[in-house]
Each structure stands twice: as structure tokens, then as C-alpha cells.
């Protein structure tokens, strides 16, 4: 196991009817900017629950943060933060609203001229404007981590940011919120969380036995609850398992002491930036090709995953590893998620070259757990995913 330090300061308030507890978490005398997305919270009762819980504090609202939170929209919110002397941010939404809020938390205290530099220059935020979240969509883990991904449509870019000052102070996780989530987004959430675990697990053996078991148990839980959640999102028990699995998949715990890959996400983000494909779906497109291309380097963990998660007992290590990739792809397809780029766009020719060029321009010359995934390899993997 590698050496590590671990600190996660986010307070989790989990369970049925917990949104009302919001009123205990916002500091007295705060001036709150209540941030949300395209309006789903106004149809499913969450807006009302949040508004009731905020009745004793001064609140300004900002709705309309789109999926894949857009820089230009967030800049409008930043203006409000400055003009209205906001002191506390509250994100009510999925990963997009929470990530947008993290950007605002960082941008509110940033003293440079162009907040986009926070992303392009990888400026780490040590202390942002304080914020909390009410999660409405289990998927990203953003409710308990300090990372964010922001999109800029005008340049077709989607870049990551973060820093120790960008953990939510609290996150409220009421699994009942999944009742109103469309099937497509539920499938996305399962796929995203599943791939978060894979990114931190599918590397090489490092004798971190507990981390392996944590990762495998999250994968097994997601596989077990996926059909139940899709069949009946009003069923509280699988909803609770689903929600907590998504948070645990990316709150930093399973990444401690082990190598991480994350190349699937870096390639996937480009597919969203170029084609607008849902985040989770881009991961399902990249995963099979990435694991096939890097088969030799990853086969020990692939075979372990095949044995322990998919109960593959027959054949050599190579056989088990290969079967594990096939099982993973079949799982995504069972969720209704297509796994080829050509399933999403007819204009896929040239994509691999474009992504490879972007990585070269950004100096991303060695991604992955061995830092040896060069842009020419990225090009081959993306081509395999056509």
C-alpha cells in the first residue's frame, strides 16, 4: 500500500425526510445564494422543501445551471454573488449544479481577472466561499469531494478543477429524491459511479487488500441494485443503497494508498465537449476499448475483478480478464447505454485525432496509472471506440 493522508471534512446527513435539517446547517446571518438547475426541483417538491427550510435566512435564487455546467451561465451567478454580497452558497441538484457551485466558491475568492484561468492554469482553491448541497441525483460523488468539471461551449472545452477548500461543508442525501429521476439519468448515475470505482481499482495489484474489497463491494452493490432502481425508483431500500454507493465511489476513500487511472474520464470529457454526449455514456464508450488496449498492464486486476465481482471461475488469467471486460460492456448495455461512439453521432471520423491533438496541446503526455498513456495511444483507444 502507498503512503497516504486522508481528510474529508464534508458532513453527510443521510436518510428519509432529511432536507428539513438544512435549517440547522446554514450559519446564522448568512446571505445565501440558492443555486439550482433546469427546474426539475420545482416539479418534484424539492424546491418547496428547501424553501421551507430556508425561511429564517436571507436568500437570493439562481436557477438555470445546465447539465454540464456552463461557464457563461456561472459568470452571471458570480455577478450576483459580488453585487448582492452573498456569503454562503447552497447547491440543490445533481453533479452539474454542485460542480457549478464549486466553481463559484472558487471564483468568489479568486483575485485574478479571468476566472476561467482557475481551470486552464489548474489553480487549486485552498479556501473557497463556504457552501452546502442538497443532492437530487446520485451519480458523481461531487457531494462529498472537492473536484468539479466545468464546460465552456464557445470553445468546446470541458475541464477539471478542485482543491482542498472545495469540499461542501455539508450534503443532505435523501434517497427519496430519486423518485422523479428519468430512467436515462438513473442509468447514467449507475454507470458513472461504477466507472469511478473502476478508475481507482483497474490498475495493477498493490496489496491494498481493504481498498480492493471496498471497491469490489461498491461494484457488487451497484450491480445488485441497478435493476431494482430502474424498475421502481420509489422503492426506498435500493434507492438508499444506490445513493450511498455513488457517494462512496468518489469521496476519496477508495483512492487512498492505491494508484489511480482516470484516463477514461479525461477521454470521456472530450466526447461530451465535442458532441454533448451525457458524461456517463462517454465513459461506457471508452471503458471497453481502454481496457482492451491496455490489457497487458491491467490484466491482473481485470481477472481479480472478473473472479470476485462477476464470479468468473473458468479459464486462464487472460480468459478471465477478457471475460470481465465483456461482462462490463454487457452491464452497461443492460442499463440501456450504448457503448460505441457511432451509436451517438455519425460525425465520429477524425475524433480520435482531434482528442489526441488537444491532449498534445495541453501537454497531457502521460495519463493513466503508469503515466505512459501518450496522445498517440489515446488516439488508438478512441478509434477502437468508434
Which residues form the interface with ligand NZQ (CB under 6 A)?
37-40, 44, 67-68, 93-97, 99, 136-137, 139-142, 145, 147-149, 177, 180-181, 185, 188, 192, 250, 265, 279
CA distance between the termini of the chain: 37
Residue 192 in contact with Zn ion, rule: CB under 5 A: yes
DSSP string spanning 273-313?
Answer: HHH---HHHHHHHHHHHHHHHTHHHHHHHHHHHHHHHH---
Return the number of other C-beta atoms located less than 10 Å from residue 12's C-beta. Answer: 18
Q: How far is the CB of 246 from Zn ion (least distance, A)?
A: 10
Q: Which does 180 bind (CB under 5 to 8 A by kind): ligand NZQ, Zn ion, none?
A: ligand NZQ
Burial code (b: 16+ CB inside 10 Å, e: under 16) for 237-256 equals ebbbbbbbbbbbbbbbbbbb
Beta carbons of 132 and 170 less than 8 angstroms apart: yes
Q: How far is the CB of 312 from ligand NZQ (least distance, A)?
A: 27
Taking CB under 5 A as the binding criterion, the range among 10-18, 43-51, 173-181, 184-192 that sits at the site for Zn ion is 184-192
C-alpha to C-alpha distance for 3 and 11, rounded to whole angstroms: 25
Whichever of 290 and 299 has its CB closer to ligand NZQ, that residue is 290
Q: Which does 250 bind (CB under 5 to 8 A by kind): ligand NZQ, Zn ion, none?
A: ligand NZQ
Whichever of 143 and 379 has its CB closer to ligand NZQ, that residue is 143
C-alpha to C-alpha distance for 330 and 319, rounded to whole angstroms: 16
C-alpha cell belonging to residue 83: 453585487
Q: How far is the CB of 54 from Zn ion (least distance, A)?
A: 30
Whichever of 174 and 192 has its CB closer to Zn ion, that residue is 192
Q: Which does 240 bind (CB under 5 to 8 A by kind): ligand NZQ, Zn ion, none?
A: none
Whichever of 87 and 160 has its CB closer to ligand NZQ, that residue is 160
C-alpha to C-alpha distance for 159 and 53, rounded to whole angstroms: 34
Q: How far is the CB of 313 from ligand NZQ (least distance, A)?
A: 32
Return the number of other C-beta atoms located less than 10 Å from residue 160's C-beta. Answer: 15
Taking CB under 5 A as the binding criterion, the range among 165-173, 188-196, 239-247, 355-363 that sits at the site for Zn ion is 188-196
Taking CB under 5 A as the binding criterion, the range among 25-33, 187-195, 309-317, 332-340 that sits at the site for Zn ion is 187-195
Q: How far is the CB of 195 from Zn ion (least distance, A)?
A: 6
Q: How far is the CB of 78 from ligand NZQ (least distance, A)?
A: 18
Whichever of 241 and 304 has its CB closer to ligand NZQ, that residue is 241
Beta carbons of 219 and 164 less than 8 angstroms apart: no
C-alpha to C-alpha distance for 50 and 20, rounded to whole angstroms: 7
Q: Which does 351 bind (CB under 5 to 8 A by kind): ligand NZQ, Zn ion, none?
A: none
How many CA atoms lie less than 13 Å away from 180 in the CB half-sphere? 13
Q: How far is the CB of 265 from ligand NZQ (least distance, A)?
A: 6
Give CA angle at 253 (321, 108), nearest 5°.
Answer: 120
C-alpha to C-alpha distance for 23 and 294, rounded to whole angstroms: 49
Q: Which residues bind Zn ion (CB under 5 A)?
A: 192
Amino acid at each position: 500500500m502507498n503512503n497516504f493522508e486522508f481528510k474529508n471534512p464534508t458532513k453527510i446527513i443521510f436518510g428519509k425526510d432529511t432536507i428539513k435539517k438544512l435549517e440547522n446547517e446554514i450559519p446564522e446571518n448568512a446571505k445565501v445564494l440558492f443555486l439550482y438547475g433546469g427546474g426539475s426541483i420545482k416539479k418534484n417538491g424539492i424546491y418547496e422543501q428547501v424553501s421551507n427550510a430556508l425561511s429564517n435566512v436571507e436568500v437570493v435564487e439562481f436557477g438555470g445551471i445546465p447539465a454540464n455546467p456552463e461557464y457563461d451561465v456561472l459568470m452571471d451567478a458570480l455577478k450576483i454573488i459580488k453585487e448582492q454580497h452573498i456569503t454562503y452558497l447552497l447547491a440543490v441538484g445533481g453533479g452539474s449544479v454542485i460542480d457549478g457551485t464549486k466553481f463559484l466558491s472558487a471564483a468568489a475568492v479568486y483575485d485574478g481577472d479571468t476566472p476561467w484561468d482557475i481551470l486552464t492554469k489548474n489553480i487549486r482553491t485552498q479556501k473557497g466561499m463556504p457552501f452546502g448541497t442538497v443532492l437530487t441525483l446520485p451519480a458523481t460523488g461531487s457531494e462529498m469531494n472537492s473536484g468539479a468539471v466545468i464546460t465552456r461551449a464557445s470553445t468546446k472545452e470541458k475541464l477539471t478543477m478542485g482543491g482542498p477548500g472545495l469540499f461542501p461543508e455539508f450534503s443532505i442525501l435523501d434517497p427519496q429524491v430519486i423518485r422523479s429521476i428519468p430512467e436515462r439519468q438513473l442509468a447514467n448515475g449507475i454507470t458513472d459511479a461504477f466507472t469511478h470505482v473502476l478508475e481507482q481499482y483497474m490498475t495493477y495489484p498493490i496489496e491494498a487488500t481493504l481498498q480492493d474489497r471496498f471497491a469490489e463491494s461498491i461494484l457488487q452493490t451497484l450491480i445488485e441494485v441497478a435493476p431494482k432502481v430502474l424498475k421502481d425508483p420509489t422503492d426506498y431500500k435500493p434507492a438508499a443503497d444506490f445513493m450511498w454507493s455513488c457517494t462512496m465511489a468518489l469521496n476519496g476513500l477508495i483512492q487512498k494508498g492505491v494508484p489511480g487511472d482516470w484516463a477514461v474520464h479525461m477521454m470521456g470529457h472530450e466526447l461530451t465537449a465535442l458532441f454533448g454526449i451525457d458524461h456517463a455514456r462517454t465513459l461506457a464508450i471508452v471503458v471497453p476499448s481502454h481496457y482492451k488496449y491496455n490489457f497487458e498492464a491491467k490484466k491482473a486486476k481485470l481477472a481479480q475483478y472478473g473472479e470476485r465481482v462477476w464470479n468468473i471461475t473458468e479459464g486462464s488469467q487472460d480468459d478471465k480478464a477478457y471475460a470481465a471486460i465483456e461482462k462490463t460492456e454487457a452491464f452497461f448495455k443492460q442499463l440501456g447505454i450504448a457503448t460505441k461512439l457511432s451509436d451517438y453521432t455519425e460525425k465520429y471520423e477524425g475524433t480520435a485525432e482531434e482528442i489526441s491533438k488537444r491532449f498534445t496541446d495541453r501537454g497531457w503526455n502521460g495519463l493513466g496509472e503508469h503515466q505512459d498513456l501518450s496522445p498517440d495511444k489515446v488516439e488508438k483507444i478512441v478509434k477502437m471506440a468508434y
